[in-house]
Amino acid sequence: MKLISKTIKTALLSALSISTVAIAAAPPASTPSTEMEVKAALFGGVPGGRWKEGLLFEGIRPQPWLQSAANWFPGTEDVQPNEMRITFMGTSPMIRPGQMNTSIFVELGNGDNFVFDIGEGSVANYVAARVALNQINNIFLTHLHVDHFGALPYVYMFGGWAGRWHEPLRIHGPSGRKPEFGTKAMVEGMKQMLAWHRQAFSVFPVGQGHDVAVTEFDFRDNGGTVYEKNNVKVIHWQRSHAMDGASAYRLDWKINDTESLCFVWTGDGRPSELDKKYAKGCDVYVTELQQEVVEINSGVQGVPPFLARYTIDTHHTPGYAAGYVANQIKPRIFMTTHMTFDPWLNEESVAEVREHWKGPYHFGAPDGIVVNVTPDSIWVRDGILPDYPNSRAPQQDFSSGQLVVPVPQFKREDLQEPFIREQQVDPDKYYPSGYKPELLEDWPVKKDLVVPYENLPENLKQSMGGHWELKNKNQKALDEMNNK
Ligand SMILES: [Zn+2]
Ligand SMILES: [Zn+2]
């Protein structure tokens, strides 16, 4: 389009203005059709409440505020005060460009966000979905298979650098058969692995960004509460996944005295009676699914059939079982993830689930699937995640009326011998004459930098305070709703 020549452009413009002139001379009005004709043509095949259309279910419909009922475009829709928005950021145990390792992002209308598992590669989709790196917090790990927590080191280090200055990284996860298999031990191991990185990043203003708050719960404490705050409660229960220390989560959010929303992510495991007990009646029930096609699958995916069969039967939920359990739980919508999304396989997945579950069902795959949930409607869309997104600005809570940038713990002089700094090329040699930026080689402030909110530039208030503003706005609406 950029190559359109000036002459063609002018020609197009003049053609357009000619037609405008032609329209301006109003055409003669035609005789209106009869009411019967209009009704027959415009409303003929449309149900208009007279019959039920298609196989969709009651309450499965797009909400009025959606910018497009077909697709979700990140950054174009606010989470509504009484809404739960669920985005599948990673959807497969076998990582590939369109399907990163498992992660599910749950945003609530009260401004609270939750991350369920944080598999390798999923951060790319968070960035594409306009989630700031410092917003990837409140992480609930179902278990310590690396396809469920592989992105944790990145989130820990780069989230701290990118604005998680005033709160620790909060991680929740099960204990193990022995202390060394628990979530706490994993975090200690991760810190050790990141010793160099952590020290190196301490020349930045990270504040509390390198602190981790781990909540390790006893994996045997079925139905135990792992989190309770701001009308949100998360419970957990055990899953049979070859080794102790695999858990499922159920999040319940009480919107007001009469309404609440619930989300379950079972993580990996064999179908169990505990799932039926603890997930019962939840609005959105998400489990994993493995299709019963080990031989064909081996030809397509390259997993030897005996290995596939053994892996499923010791670790996973067959499609038939997923539908069977869903039918006991009876959610408002049933979703499966942690599964390959392929044209040849998708019908099979549906057919297996449909053996037992006849209610609303959707794939939580591939990456970018978005679910809008309110007390009266649910809609599932394909999110349009760009390939080359850039990060959202660090989101800050300005409740204190200030932006506080913490003073860095170290200078380069503390972490580096002088030799290699002395070898740096003199900037005057490469900056062209007449141009030289003011170099920031030493952090210019000796203590925390504190800027009153009202003194911040307008664009910074908007970019860094976006989530805080939405949270305040929604909280007000929720308070009004509750006072009615
Ligand atoms: Zn897995
Ligand atoms: Zn697993």
- Indicate which CATH number applies to the domain containing 234: 3.60.15.10
pLDDT at residue 55 in the model: 74
Is 411 part of a structural domain of the chain? yes
Do 81 and 180 lie in one domain? The reply is yes
pLDDT at residue 9 in the model: 47
Ligand 2 centroid to 282 CA: how many Å? 23
Is 62 part of a structural domain of the chain? no
pLDDT 10s digits, 283-335: 999 999 999 999 988 888 888 889 999 999 999 999 999 999 999 999 999 99
pLDDT at residue 23 in the model: 56
pLDDT at residue 451 in the model: 97
Is 48 part of a structural domain of the chain? no
pLDDT at residue 134 in the model: 98
Q: Tokens for 292? A: 């019963």
SS3 for 126-195, per residue? HHHCCCCHHHCCCEECCCCCHHHCCCHHHHHHHHHHCCCCCCCEEEEEECCCCHHHCHHHHHHHHHHHCH
pTM for this entry: 0.92
Ligand 1 centroid to 288 CA: how many Å? 9
Ligand 2 centroid to 296 CA: how many Å? 23
Residues, Cβ < 5 Å to ion ligand 1: 93, 145, 147, 268
pLDDT at residue 24 in the model: 64
Judge whether 126 and 136 are in contact, CB under 8 Å: yes
Ligand 1 centroid to 364 CA: how many Å? 14
Q: Is 479 helix (H, G, I), strand (E, B) or coil?
A: helix
Q: How far apart are CA 367 and CA 122, in angstroms?
A: 9
Backbone angles phi, psi at 116, to 5 degrees: -105, 110
Is 59 part of a structural domain of the chain? no
Ligand 1 centroid to 118 CA: how many Å? 11
Residue by residue, DSSP assigns 7-37 as: HHHHHHHHHHHHHHHHHHSPPPPPPPPPHHH
Do 212 and 293 lie in one domain? The reply is yes
Is 299 part of a structural domain of the chain? yes
Q: What is the rounded end-to-end Cα distance, in angstroms, of the chain?
A: 55
Do 243 and 291 lie in one domain? The reply is yes
Q: Residue range 86-90: average pLDDT? A: 98
Ligand 2 centroid to 455 CA: how many Å? 49
Ligand 2 centroid to 145 CA: how many Å? 5
Ligand 1 centroid to 147 CA: how many Å? 5
Domains held by the chain: number: 2
Ligand 2 centroid to 159 CA: how many Å? 25
Do 287 and 429 lie in one domain? The reply is no
Ligand 1 centroid to 92 CA: how many Å? 7
**Which ligand has the minimum distance to the alpha carbon of residue 290?**
1
Percentages helix, strand, coil for the chain (3-state, rounded to 5) are 35, 20, 45
Which residues pair with residue 318 across a beta bridge? 290
Of the candidates 266, 274, 231, 262, the one whose C-alpha atom is nearest the C-alpha of residue 246 is 266
Ligand 2 centroid to 330 CA: how many Å? 25
Ligand 2 centroid to 151 CA: how many Å? 15
What's the domain range around 209? 71-383
Do 201 and 165 lie in one domain? The reply is yes
Element (H, E) at 115: strand 113-116
Last residue of a domain, one of 353, 383, 413: 383
Do 359 and 442 lie in one domain? The reply is no
Interaxial angle between packed helices 343-354 and 319-329, expressed in degrees from 0 to 180 and rounded to the nearest 10: 40
Q: How far apart are CA 396 and CA 466, in angstroms?
A: 8
pLDDT 10s digits, 90-135: 999 999 999 999 999 999 999 999 999 999 999 999 999 999 999 9
> Residue type for 353, please?
V
Do 339 and 455 lie in one domain? The reply is no
Would you say how long the chain is, in residues?
Answer: 484
Q: How far apart are CA 383 and CA 369, in angstroms?
A: 5
Is 397 part of a structural domain of the chain? no
The strands making up 284-288's β-sheet, listed across from edge to edge, are 225-229, 232-238, 247-254, 260-265, 284-288, 333-337, 361-363
Q: What is the mean pLDDT of the chain?
A: 93
Ligand 2 centroid to 268 CA: how many Å? 5
Ligand 1 centroid to 234 CA: how many Å? 21
Do 375 and 441 lie in one domain? The reply is no
pLDDT 10s digits, 398-443: 999 999 999 999 999 999 999 999 999 999 999 999 998 999 999 9
Last residue of a domain, one of 354, 383, 412: 383
**Quick check: 246 pLDDT over 70?**
yes
The residue assigned the tokens 């739980």 is 329
**Quick check: 4 pLDDT over 60?**
no
Do 251 and 112 lie in one domain? The reply is yes
pLDDT at residue 48 in the model: 81
All residues at 6 or more sequence positions from 131 whose CB lies less than 8 Å from its CB, including other chains: 105, 113, 392
Do 367 and 437 lie in one domain? The reply is no
**Which ligand has the minimum distance to the alpha carbon of residue 143?**
2
Do 363 and 323 lie in one domain? The reply is yes
Judge whether 263 and 307 are in contact, CB under 8 Å: no
How many alpha carbons fall within 13 Å on the CB side of residue 210? 19
Is 25 part of a structural domain of the chain? no
**Quick check: 3 pLDDT over 70?**
no
**Which ligand has the minimum distance to the alpha carbon of residue 148?**
1
pLDDT at residue 12 in the model: 44
Residue by residue, DSSP assigns 224-274 as: -EEEEETTEEEEEEE-BSSSS--EEEEEEEE-SSS-EEEEEE--S-B--HH
**Quick check: 8 pLDDT over 80?**
no
Do 438 and 372 lie in one domain? The reply is no
Is 390 part of a structural domain of the chain? no
Ligand 2 centroid to 143 CA: how many Å? 7
